[in-house]
Amino acid sequence: MSLPKKGTVLKFNHFSWSNKVPIVVYTDFECFTKPVQSCQPDLDKSFTEKYQKHELSGFCYYIVKNGEPVKQVLFSQREDGEDIAGIFIDRLEKDLDRIWSLEKKADGYEWKR
């Protein structure tokens, strides 16, 4: 796998079918994959064989408001057992609350959750 060439642009087809939204969040999660021990499945029945477990190790998100970049956050696991999903939700929620409150104050309305 290699990185895209410098200057590569993501393009969308049929953008006229889309809905306009004031805030978009693009996210990506990184994981460690660890093998999973399993037993022999019963071949007479349908089954799914688990062979690895994905453990979150980090995330990034990019907030765009009205087409303009607002914030980019990168986070990597600092210690084993860290609640990456919880940290993601907490940070994103705080960032979005701050952005919405600034937006509503600019419109003369105090937004409360």
Pick from 76, 93, 81: nearest CA to 28: 76
Is residue 101 situated within a structural domain?
Answer: yes
Residue 3 located in a structural domain: no
- The domain of 64 spans 20-106
Domain count for the chain: 1
pTM above 0.85, yes or no: no
Within a domain: 73: yes
Q: What is the pLDDT of residues 50-95, one digit of tens each?
A: 889 899 999 999 999 988 999 999 999 888 889 999 999 999 999 9
Letter string b/e over residues 46-64, b meaning 16 or more CB atoms within 10 A of that residue's CB:
eeeeeeeeeebebbebebb
In a domain, 81, yes or no: yes
**pLDDT at residue 108, as a whole number:** 61
Asked whether residue 15 is domain-assigned, the answer is no
**Does 100 reside within a domain?**
yes
